Amino acid sequence: MSFYENTIKNMNKSAKIMKLDPETLQTLSSPQKTLIVSLPVRMDDGTLKVFEGFRVQHSELRGPFKGGFRYFPEVNLDEIKALATEMSFKCAVAGIPYGGGKGGVKCNAKEMSEGELERLTRRYVQAVYQIIGPNHDIPAPDMYTTPQMMAWFMDEYSRLVNKYQPGVVTGKPIEVGGSLGRGTATAQGGAYVLEEYMNQNNLKIEDHSVIIQGFGNAGMYAAEILHGMGFRILGVSDSKGGIYNEDGIDPFVVLKDKKEKGSVTKSDEGKACTNEELLEKKCDILVLAAMENQVTEKNADKVKAKIIVELANGPTSAEADEILAKKDVVIIPDILANSGGVTVSYFEWVQNQAGYYWPIEEIELKLKRIMVDGLNRILKFQDEHKCTMREGAYISAFDRLDKALKLRGSGAHLKCKVYLNK
């Protein structure tokens, strides 16, 4: 099952449970707009290379499209459609006034120079700028895109429209309109949700061990934040593999080793293993912070964790969901767990619009309130419908999206015929 098919299946399951209006489901099952572009870029060696890029705008029922863009060799339209769709639900779960969008370019950013990446980023802006803007579609960093690239993006867009527009993109450096707390937001938001869930269920942090798959931005900060809260970190991994130590590891030492030696697998903090092996190691909490479809029907039964926190997008397949539910594994789903990133992006956008910037204490307080409110609303729907937390999350989002659709009149419009005046 593809990532997009998996997303649609999750939507259909929850829609059936809540008896959602079929026309609302139909409306939200397809993106509003899909753009595929060719991006010719002059490389450092003088050759011309043409990259394929995408921007998908899923729904603007509750506000401007919002979603990152990624640079990755395996970027494809199916993936971008799924991510754009999930962004609509993620923003609705968080209760922030955005719809969903997503973009990407098929490239290997690791093998490109800074100059090549800047030219590619500016070319991407030139190709999509007519359908984006601070009140229409607001991109952000994602896999292998950085705050520096967001600065180039903002600069190129401002040049094209002949007006300084810091709010066209979020995740920028502080010096050009970025927000404090944006870099750690995804991990911090997930930590707030996990902490609140454990408090509500009388679970002690110091009694619980954690494995984190993925050591990029979200995974690295998650390891540091959870370690600081008192969780025992037993294992971490990056794209080259992982390490595991049942006595615990120090994520700060692992990060230092990764920077010096190129991979967490080179660290002496634990014994090296594959990413696949790490998912099956003994732990209480498994944090998925890598890519989609990491836990599937092939390995779900081997997962020993009792709580899964999805900091990545779509890391658990629909089939794995069913297997894990039978094992009473609690999954804190991606559209809640990793919504801290888009929430602080929203804060950045608000600050850009107002020209007034908040201290970190205010940002963290606002983020925690939104994450905890989102969890409690999901738990309410979960209890009402006797369903999983993922199904409760989709129901929570559908509830807001359905109301917005009907209030705006699109539902009625679907049933009407349009007559031309003679």
Residues 134 and 273 in one domain: no
Res 412 pLDDT > 60: no
Q: Tell me the per-residue pLDDT of 376-404, one tens digit each, with 9 for 90 and over.
A: 999 999 999 999 999 999 999 999 999 99
Does 5 fall in a domain?
no
* 178 within a domain of the structure (yes/no): no
pLDDT score, position 128: 97
Q: Which of 191, 184, 174 is nearest to 216 (CA)?
A: 184
Same-domain pairing of 303 and 191: yes
218 and 248 together in one domain: yes
Q: Decide if pLDDT at 302 tops 60.
A: yes
% pLDDT > 90, the chain: 94
Q: Give the Cα separation of 283 and 209 in Å (integer).
A: 5
Does residue 344 have a pLDDT over 70? Answer: yes
Say if 85 falls within a structural domain.
Answer: yes
| Co-location of 120 and 218 in the same domain | no
CATH number of the domain to which 297 belongs: 3.40.50.720
Dihedral sign for Cα atoms in the order 44, 46, 47, 50: positive
| Mean pLDDT along residues 151-180 | 97
Is residue 103 domain-shared with residue 241, that is, in the same domain?
Answer: no
Whether residue 191 is contained in a domain is answered as yes
Query: Which DSSP helix (H) or strand (E) runs through 236?
Result: strand 232-238
The b-or-e profile of 400-419 (16+ CB within 10 A means b, else e) is bbbebbeeeeeeeeeeeeee
Q: Is the pLDDT of residue 140 over 70?
A: yes
> Which one of 118, 138, 170 terminates a domain?
170
DSSP 48: E
Q: What is the pLDDT of residue 119?
A: 98
Domains in the chain, number: 2
φ, ψ for residue 237, nearest 5 deg: -150, 160
Query: Does residue 204 belong to any structural domain of this protein?
Result: yes
**Pairwise CA distance, residues 157 & 159, whole Å:** 5
CA angle, 115 then 119 then 125, to 5°: 145
Q: How far is CA 121 from CA 183, 327, 330, 345, 413, in A?
A: 20, 45, 39, 19, 39
CATH number at residue 50: 3.40.50.10860
- Looking at the fold, whether 111 and 216 belong to one and the same domain comes out as no
Residues 204, 146, single domain; the answer is: no
> How far is residue 225's CA from residue 276's CA, in Å, rounded to a whole number?
24
The answer to whether residue 4 is domain-embedded is no
What is the chain's mean pLDDT, rounded? 94
Whether residue 103 lies inside any domain: the answer is yes
Rounded-to-10 torsion of CA 253, 254, 257, 263: 180
pLDDT tens readout for residues 231-286: 999 999 998 999 999 999 999 999 999 999 999 999 999 999 999 999 999 999 99
Is residue 280 in a domain? Answer: yes
Six-digit token string for 86: 């999930």
Residue 415 has pLDDT above 70, yes or no: no
Which residues form the domain of 311?
A: 185-337
- Among residues 320, 337, 354, the one where a domain terminates is 337
What residue spans of 47-184 are helical by DSSP H?
77-94, 114-128, 147-161
> Strand 99-106 relative to strand 48-59: parallel, antiparallel, unpaired?
antiparallel
Structure tokens at 2: 């593809």
Mean pLDDT over residues 64-72, rounded?
97
Single residue among 108, 143, 170 that ends a domain in this structure: 170
pLDDT at residue 413 above 70?
A: no
Confidence of residue 422 (pLDDT cuts 50, 70, 90): very low
Q: Are residues 102 and 161 in the same domain?
A: yes
Amino acid sitting at position 254: V
pLDDT tens digits, one per residue of 178-217: 999 999 999 999 999 999 999 999 999 999 999 999 998 8
- In tens, the pLDDT along 306-322 reads 999 999 999 999 999 99
Are 156 and 219 found together in one domain? no
Q: Are residues 165 and 193 in the same domain?
A: no
pLDDT of residue 411 exceeding 60: no
Shared-domain flag, residues 281 and 189: yes
Residue whose entry in the numeric block shows the structure tokens 């890029």: 53
Please tell me the distance from the alpha carbon of residue 397 to that of residue 78, in angstroms, as a whole number. Answer: 22
pLDDT band at 1 (very low <50, low <70, confident <90, very high): confident
Residues 86 and 218 reside in one and the same domain = no
pLDDT, position 410: 57
Q: Which residues are catalytic?
A: 102
